[in-house]
Amino acid sequence: MPIEYVDFGDLKISRKIAQALADMGFEEPTPIQSRAIPLLNGGRDVIGQAQTGTGKTAAFGIPIVEKLNMREGVQALVVTPTRELAVQVAEEISRIGRYRRVRTLPVYGGQSIDRQIRALQQGVQVVIGTPGRLLDHLRRKTLRLDRVRMVVLDEADEMLDMGFIEDVEAILKSTPENRQTLLFSATMPKEVQDLARNYLKDPEFVTVSRGSITVPQIDQVYYETKERSKVDTIARLLDTLDISKAIVFCRTKRGVDDLVSKMEARGYPVAGLHGDMSQYQRNQVMRRFRNSQVEVLVATDVAARGLDIENVSHVINFDLPQDVEFYVHRIGRTGRAGKAGKAVTLVTPRDYPQLRLIEKLTGTRIRREHLPDPADMIERQKEGLKERIRLVIEEGKLGYYRAMVDPLLDEYDPVDVAAAALKMFFDPGSDGPEAADAGEAGPEVSLKHTGAGPGMVRLFVSIGRSDNVRPAELVRIICDETGIPADLVGDIRIYDRFTFIEVPEEWANCVIGCMHRQTVKGRRVVVQPARGRSQP
């Protein structure tokens, strides 16, 4: 049966892969995908200069899945510097190949090699692994690479920084001469260029290292939240920000529908816009938004393209986009015609690396803000409700409702009757607005009992005196990477091979997210909450 191809932005891909990408929320290719995929489909070797967060995994994952013969064994190999990246890449290629039933296997040290051997014996098409464990399998002859058609060296600069050059070369020599090779690297030091020169054949160079992206002059802020509390967080922001019109961006069509239904259930005037809607539905939504019948438009990146809407006071990133250029396009929807605009981003602990990449490639610093205090929200709700009651009284036309209330006044105090009506208005099952949980932003991991003082979190950093690091230098590095003010960094204890450092609890997730796996003094460091000091 011939393969049916469909459009994916400006690319042609098989229908099964297109269906998988739609499930993943991809509506169009990112720049690195648009440039690399046609070259890889054409059999070219490619050097890609791109960082994590630009969609580079799908840039090689889609061609890998397209070219697989499901009746053969290992045909594609991806070499990564860390186990975390190996697992991440394996999961994404597995999702891309979902409807082709592609079997992937991450192999890395620290996991039972016997389990990996059993999985290899059962048959996989794509292996993703760290250099050391891949060599271990090659020496044991539990992994054969003689039918490999494509090899990907992911984050090549990191692998060479970690001393894997000889291992990588040994792996490449175990693959067929006629293989197709792709090398991805955020930077291009001489060692990476030498590796490419020796093992790639007439490679095409593709880069999305865009340090000159122009960002509109818009006030940009972010709020930290939990993944499970994002809906509560956006509700709190909509209640407190001075919004005339807002566009809320979600990464997927399913995410748009889910957020719209949850916000409508809370009484917010919202409407959704995404690619699965008919033109009639889109026109109806846009008419209501332009006429201010709804204040909030929830949309995907593709659905919002080309919209020209006046008086959008806020753009809210409910989900961070997969590519930096999408972020710039999003926030450009506000602040038009010389008017002030504000871009708001919700950030979970796992989003910090992508947030810092956006800041780095756009040359801007996105300011951290704190969510409005629930007590302040309640006071604003009370004042707003009082004003609405005054307007209803002044408008009159209360005869029908007076007839309902009059019999109650024979038994109850009028103030109690009014208070009961207000309680029912807020929530029939609650004790009033003060009982509502607006959703507290906070960390995904426990930051309690780390042995720090009140309001602080003690962090373990896997670098110490033996790495020739000094307190002032460590503080500077942390401040540069995270944006935390230096005067907020607390007690620092540097030992021979590790360091304990205290930061305010509200900054802890940011420091962990930005610093974990960073290279400091030539070493990849681990940053995590410290264990509490033993009690006497």
Q: For residue 186, report the phi and psi dihedrals to the nearest 5 degrees.
A: -70, -35
Tell which wins on pLDDT, 423 or 280: 280
pLDDT mean over 349-371: 85
CA-based R_g, the chain, Å: 27
- In terms of Cα–Cα distance, which of 451, 494, 455 is closest to 475? 494
- Predicted pLDDT at 381: 64
Write the CA distances from 102 to 16, 44, 108, integer angstroms: 12, 23, 20
Q: Across the strands, what pairs with 454?
A: none
pLDDT mean over 365-387: 73
Residue percentage of the chain with pLDDT more than 70: 88
Tell which wins on pLDDT, 516 or 122: 122
**Side-chain half-sphere CA neighbours of 113 within 13 A:** 14
**Which CATH number does 219-368 carry?**
3.40.50.300
Strands 180-185 and 523-524 turn out to be: unpaired
Q: Which residues of 335-347 are buried (b: 16+ CB within 10 A; e: fewer)?
A: beeeeebbbbbbb
Domain chopping of the chain, boundaries: 5-207, 219-368, 376-435, 456-529
Q: Across the strands, what pairs with 272?
A: 298
- Predicted pLDDT at 378: 63
Please list the alpha-helical segments (H only) found in 68-129: 83-96, 113-122
SS3 state at 108: coil
Tell which wins on pLDDT, 379 or 276: 276
- Predicted pLDDT at 375: 61
- In terms of Cα–Cα distance, which of 173, 174, 94, 85 is closest to 126? 94
Segment 272-312, tens digit of pLDDT: 998 788 878 888 888 888 888 888 999 988 777 666 677 78
Segment 137-178, tens digit of pLDDT: 999 999 999 999 999 999 888 888 778 899 999 999 999 999
SS3 state at 185: strand
pLDDT, averaged across the chain: 84
**For 417, which DSSP code?**
H
Q: Which residues of 222-232 are buried (b: 16+ CB within 10 A; e: fewer)?
A: bbbbbeebbbb
Angle between helical axes of 253-265 and 230-240 (0-180°, round to 10) = 60
- Residue 353, pLDDT > 90, answer no
DSSP characters over 212-274: T----S-EEEEEE--GGGHHHHHHHHHHHS--SSEEEE-SSHHHHHHHHHHHHHTT--EEEE-
Q: Select 5-207's CATH number: 3.40.50.300, 3.40.50.410, 3.30.420.480, 1.10.3720.10.
A: 3.40.50.300
Segment 70-93, tens digit of pLDDT: 889 999 999 998 888 898 899 999
- Predicted pLDDT at 270: 92
Segment 16-65, tens digit of pLDDT: 999 998 887 777 788 889 999 999 999 999 998 876 556 788 999 999 99
220 torsion bin: left (phi>0), alpha (psi -120 to 50), beta (else): beta
Segment 326-342, tens digit of pLDDT: 888 788 778 655 566 89
Angle between helical axes of 56-67 and 31-41 (0-180°, round to 10) = 30
Tell which wins on pLDDT, 54 or 106: 106
The yes/no answer on whether domain 456-529 falls in CATH 3.40.980.10 is no
* pTM for this predicted structure: 0.55
Number of H helices, E strands in the chain: 20, 22
Segment 449-461, tens digit of pLDDT: 888 888 899 999 9
User: 5-207 and 219-368: same fold?
Assistant: yes
Q: For residues 120 and 105, is the Cβ–Cβ distance under 8 A?
A: yes
pLDDT mean over 229-250: 88
Angle between helical axes of 165-173 and 131-140 (0-180°, round to 10) = 40
- Predicted pLDDT at 110: 81
CA distance 452 to 440: 22
